[in-house]
């Protein structure tokens, strides 16, 4: 068990190294995040102002916090649906992954988590800092708030990795997963609250959103960190994230086993 823990840790570190290698990509991502942040800021604060200062529990300060935290997390969670693994499933390289003495699911997800964790430093923090300096944001008032927020961000990165893994391994049945990836991209952004907070959606769309793992990738940690949801309700959101993590890991494990049986590699 100790040996396996070390291998898993190394996979996370490998993800960190991969993300750290492409410095220009990190800068490019930051520039894009901040530009979209300012565009979101204009239209969303205008919405808050036009509806009398508060809309769905968001005042100007909380809205600004939502914008910069969500922009900051964008580099760490996968809302595009594209993964290296889906290419490997399509071209058959995944057969080699199955030969290795470790779980394909754990390897793919931990690598993703490592990448996501690293991106918090060069993309997440500057994004939030720029927002805090230029327009002001609300942050937790207690150490417990920060701790719960940190756990929530970590869980969001993990849920994103284990969910996007499901898209990749559905390739065992579909072969070409591009259509599914595009569908994932559209729904994940909308339901994770990328452009509009989930709380602003009409009731039936909120129900639809909360029945997917997508809010757990961005909306929940932002709500916890911004203090829009506090106390036991915040702990409830973190518990929901944990639930989604367990569920996606379980489905992913079952699909990995089933997919391995279906996998047929031709040629040699």
Partner 1 sequence: MADTGVAAAPPAVRRDRWRPYRAVIGSRIRSQRAYRASFRMDLFSTGVIGLVELAEVLVLYRTVDALGGLDVHQILLVFGLADLGFSLASVVVGHVDELPKFIRSGTLDVFFLRPQPVLLQLITSELSLRRVSRALVGLAAFCVGLVTADVPATPRTAALLTMALVSATAISAAQYVTAGGLQFFLIEGREMTNSFVYGGRYAATQPAAVWSAPVRAVFGYVFPMAFCGYLPVLAVLGMPGPPGLPAWLAWCTPLAALWAWAAAMLCWRWGTRSYQGAGG
Q: How many Cα atoms sit within 13 Å of 15 on the Cβ side? A: 24
Q: Is residue 239 a contact point for partner 1 (CB under 8 A)?
A: no
Max CA pair span of the chain: 67
Is 8 among the residues that bind partner 1 (CB under 8 A)?
no
The values of phi and psi at residue 229, to 5°, are -115, 125
Give the bridge partners for 58, in sequence order: 55
Look up residue 40 and give its two tokens.
């979101």
Count of residues interacting with partner 1 (CB under 8 A)? 39
20 sits near partner 1 (criterion: CB under 8 A): no
Q: Does 9 bind partner 1 (CB under 8 A)?
A: no
Could you tell me the smallest distance in angstroms from the CB atom of residue 108 to partner 1?
A: 22
- Cβ atoms within 10 Å, residue 217: 30
Q: Under the criterion CB under 8 A, does residue 200 sit at the interface with partner 1?
A: yes
Judge contact between 189 and 195, C-beta under 8 A.
yes
Q: Quick check: 267 binds partner 1 (CB under 8 A)?
A: no
Q: Is 237 exposed, middle or buried (0-12, 13-18, 19+ CB in 10 A)?
A: buried
Residue with smaller CB distance to partner 1, 90 or 260 = 90
Nearer to partner 1, 71 or 152 (CB): 71
Per CB under 8 A, the list member of 125, 147, 186, 254 interacting with partner 1 is: 186
* Token pair recorded at residue 2: 């100790």
Long-range own/partner contacts, residues 229-233 (CB < 8 A, 24 or more apart) = 230/145
Residue 91 lies near partner 1 (rule: CB under 8 A): no
Instruction: Report how far residue 108's alpha carbon sits from residue 104's, in angstroms, rounded to the nearest whole number.
Output: 6
Binding mask 122-161 for partner 1 (x = CB under 8 A): ----------------------------------------
- Is residue 43 near partner 1 by the rule CB under 8 A? yes
- Applying CB under 8 A, the span of 85-93, 137-145, 194-202, 215-223 interacting with partner 1 comes to 194-202
Alpha-carbon distance of 55 to 45, in angstroms, equals 10
Only segment of 87-95, 163-171, 177-185, 224-232 that touches partner 1 (CB under 8 A)? 177-185
Single out the residue of 4, 6, 27, 147 in contact with partner 1 (rule: CB under 8 A): 27
Please tell me the distance from the alpha carbon of residue 105 to that of residue 245, in angstroms, as a whole number: 13
Could you say which of 6, 17, 42, 125 contacts partner 1 (CB under 8 A)? Answer: 42
How does DSSP classify residue 22?
-
Q: Interface residues with partner 1 (CB under 8 A)?
A: 22, 24-25, 27-29, 31-32, 34-36, 38-39, 41-47, 50-51, 55-56, 176, 178-179, 182-183, 185-187, 189-190, 195-196, 200-202
């Amino acid at each position: 068990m100790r040996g396996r823990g070390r291998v898993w840790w190394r996979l996370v570190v490998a993800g960190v190294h991969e993300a750290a290698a492409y410095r220009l990509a990190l800068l490019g991502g930051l520039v894009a995040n901040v530009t979209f942040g300012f565009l979101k800021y204009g239209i969303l604060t205008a919405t808050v102002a036009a509806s009398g200062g508060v809309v769905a529990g968001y005042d100007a300060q909380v809205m600004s916090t939502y914008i910069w935290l969500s922009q900051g997390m964008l580099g760490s969670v996968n809302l595009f649906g594209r993964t290296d693994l889906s290419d490997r499933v399509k071209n058959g390289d995944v057969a080699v992954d199955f030969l290795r003495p470790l779980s394909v699911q754990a390897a793919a997800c931990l690598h993703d988590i490592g990448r996501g964790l690293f991106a918090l430093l060069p993309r997440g923090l500057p994004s939030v800092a720029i927002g805090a300096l230029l327009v002001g944001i609300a942050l937790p008032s207690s150490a417990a708030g920060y701790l719960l927020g940190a756990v929530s961000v970590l869980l969001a990165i993990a849920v994103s990795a284990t969910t996007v893994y499901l898209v990749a391994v559905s390739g065992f049945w579909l072969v070409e997963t591009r259509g599914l990836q595009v569908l994932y991209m559209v729904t994940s952004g909308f339901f994770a609250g990328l452009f509009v907070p989930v709380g602003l959606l009409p009731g039936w769309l909120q129900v639809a959103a909360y029945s997917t793992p997508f809010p757990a990738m961005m909306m929940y940690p932002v709500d916890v960190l911004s203090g829009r949801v506090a106390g036991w309700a915040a702990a409830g959101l973190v518990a929901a994230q944990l639930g989604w993590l367990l569920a996606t890991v379980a489905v992913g494990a079952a699909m990995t086993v089933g997919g391995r049986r279906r996998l047929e590699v031709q040629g040699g």
